[in-house]
Structure 1
Amino acid sequence: MKHTKQRRRRKAVTFYTACYGFRKPFKVLCDGTFVHNLVVHRVDPADRAISNILSAPVKLFTTRCVLEELKRLGRSHSEALATARSFAVARCDHEGKTKADSCILEVVKENNREHFFVATQDADLRRKLKEMPCIPIMFGLRNVLFLEQPSAAQRKYAKDSEEERLHISEEERKMLEKKTGVILASTKPKHSDEEEDLAGQDGYKAVAEKTQAVKKGLGVKDKPQFKRKKAKGPNPLSCLKKKTHGNEKPTSEKEKEVNEGHTRSRGRKRKRLRKSKKPLVMD
């Protein structure tokens, strides 16, 4: 079950990253109810807990209106106020005079340009945020944090925007037609007689060159040219002749020639010592 939840969270994060351009480190906009839930259930440190859910580094934000609302709630939310003051403050023009939920809706309007993840425990606020196209929502259940799956409205908006990007707009089509007309006019020959001569002599060649010029002007490429591998010859080192060393003829042939010529190699002569004969002495 744990792996299934992790896979769902990873899919949701990938959806917002691919379709709406969210980038790391992710920005998480927290309201007072969410911060209070973190404090009550001792989810500390908050940035590490949220980072584990999103599998990425995060930066926590709040607004002045949220801080003022926590301040008005008194001692029961004093610890939550101290925690919220450690977060970065997102820019809003209310100066703490608006309700926290209205302030957050104002900050993330216009397609959530700052790419905020909104963390809240307010069910009404979460329902309103689901109707907006590109706002990921987080909430806590006791000491466990959750990332909501993209709603049907968010998925439909992403699909429509993708189809819109695949087709050119009316203005782009008019610009393309205008550019094409200018290029065709510049490549058109000035005299009709010249065109007839070309058709009579090298008509096919002229038409081919003209087509290439138009394609080059429009930035259209021909069919991809693949490099054909040339046939390689044998390894030149394997074609070298075998080297001969010193004796060209084998020893057996050499001995044969020596025997035929009645020549004989004389080896080292052994010296023999002869005993000298002493004369016999007659008594």
Structure 2
Amino acid sequence: MKVKKQKRHRKSLTFYTACFGFHKPYRVLCDGTFVHHLVANRITPADTALANILSSPVKLYTTSCVLAELKRLGKSYSEALEAAKNLIIARCEHDKCVRADSCITEVVGENNSEHFFVASQDADLRKKLEEVPGVPLIFGLRNALFLESPSAFQKEYVKTSEEGRLHMTNKEYQIFRERAMNRLAAGEADNSNTEIVENKDSEDPIASAQAIKRSITSRNKIGIKDRPQFKRKRAKGPNPLSCKKKKSREDQKETKGDNTAKRSRKRKRSRKGQMSAEASS
């Protein structure tokens, strides 16, 4: 069961990182219900527990509205309030404190530009955030934590956005059309200029050659190639070392004989031995 859970979490993480640009360390926005669940089930330290799920170091955030709501709930949530005070406070633009669920939805926004993971035990809040693209949701069940798989809305949003990227927008089509018309107009103007020069200087061969060169250069500026530019692969000759003739047996014997003749050396006798033999005689 644990292996299946890890595979499911890994699949969800790859979806959010590839499609929405989430990066490490992940940022987790916690509401009061989630903090209270961690304290009640003694899931401590919270950052290591969440890091085990996401396989990455995490930063835990909350908002000032969540802290105010925990304070209003009284002594039963005092431990959760003390634990929430240790978290990083995300900026929310509320002069007066509002409900925690509405505050979190405003912090997340329309497209979750801050790349927050939202951790909450509020089922209604999680259902509401499923309709926002790129919002991963975390919840607790007894003493275990889970990362929800992407909703059908988020998968459909990614699919439609990918299809939209494949086609031109109206603005891109207009820019492309204007550039194409400008290139065609420039090409027609250059061709008309070359025809006028050729008619005037038809008698002078040097001037006509210069006009042809100008037309070719003008075409190359537009990006039109007169001929396909590629290099033919020429047939290479055989390796000269592989073409060496093999030596016959007679040649090998001759070479061996020459080597032995070179190696044989005459023994030189010392003159001292000859002198001693003559003296004894």
Greater Cα offset, 8-17 or 95-104? 95-104
Q: 1:267 to 1:136 in 2, by over 3 A?
A: same
Partner of 1:144: 144
Partner of 1:176: 176
Q: 1:229 to 1:193 in 2, by over 3 A?
A: closer
Count residues in correspondence: 252
Q: 1:144 to 1:232 in 2, by over 3 A?
A: farther
Contact 1:119–1:138 at 8 Å: present in 2 too?
Answer: yes
1:213 aligns with 2:221: yes
- Separation of aligned partners in 1, 2:240 and 2:157: 62
Contact 1:66–1:96 at 8 Å: present in 2 too?
Answer: no
- Separation of aligned partners in 2, 1:106 and 1:157: 20
Q: Map Cα deviations across residues 45-94 of structure 1 (whole Å, 9 max, x no partner).
A: 11111111111121111111100011111111111111111111111122
Contact 2:31–2:66 at 8 Å: present in 1 too?
Answer: yes
Partner of 1:81: 81
Q: 1:170 to 1:58 in 2, by over 3 A?
A: same
Partner of 2:66: 66
**What letter matches 2:51 in structure 1?**
S
Superposition TM-score, scaled by structure 2 size = 0.76
Structure 2: runs of 5+ lacking an equivalent: 203-207, 245-256
Contact 1:43–1:49 at 8 Å: present in 2 too?
Answer: yes
- For 1:1-283, what aligned pairs fall within 5 Å after superposition? 1-95=1-95, 97-190=97-190, 192=192, 194-195=194-195, 212-215=220-223, 249-250=258-259, 252=261, 267-268=269-270, 269-270=273-274, 271-272=276-277, 274=280
Looking at CA atoms only, which structure, 1 or 2, has the larger radius of gyration? 1
**What letter matches 1:213 in structure 2?**
K
Contact 1:27–1:60 at 8 Å: present in 2 too?
Answer: yes
Q: 1:147 to 1:230 in 2, by over 3 A?
A: farther
Superposition TM-score, scaled by structure 1 size = 0.75
- Separation of aligned partners in 2, 1:225 and 1:101: 65
Q: Map Cα deviations across residues 158-213 of structure 1 (whole Å, 9 max, x no partner).
A: 11111111111001110111122223322334564734959x999x9998766543
**What letter matches 1:116 in structure 2?**
F
Contact 1:64–1:96 at 8 Å: present in 2 too?
Answer: no
The structure with the largest helix share of the pair is 2
Greater Cα offset, 187-196 or 7-16? 187-196
Contact 2:110–2:132 at 8 Å: present in 1 too?
Answer: no
- Separation of aligned partners in 2, 1:69 and 1:19: 34
What is the CA RMSD across the aligned residues, in angstroms? 3.8
- Separation of aligned partners in 1, 2:55 and 2:228: 44
- Separation of aligned partners in 1, 2:232 and 2:84: 63
- Separation of aligned partners in 1, 2:51 and 2:238: 60
**What letter matches 1:88 in structure 2?**
I
Structure 1: runs of 5+ lacking an equivalent: 240-247, 259-263, 276-283
**What letter matches 1:62 in structure 2?**
T
Partner of 2:205: none
Contact 2:191–2:215 at 8 Å: present in 1 too?
Answer: no
- Separation of aligned partners in 2, 1:170 and 1:103: 37
Greater Cα offset, 106-115 or 186-195? 186-195
- Separation of aligned partners in 2, 1:173 and 1:44: 56
Percent identity of paired positions between Structure 1 and Structure 2? 47
Shift of 1:9: 0.6
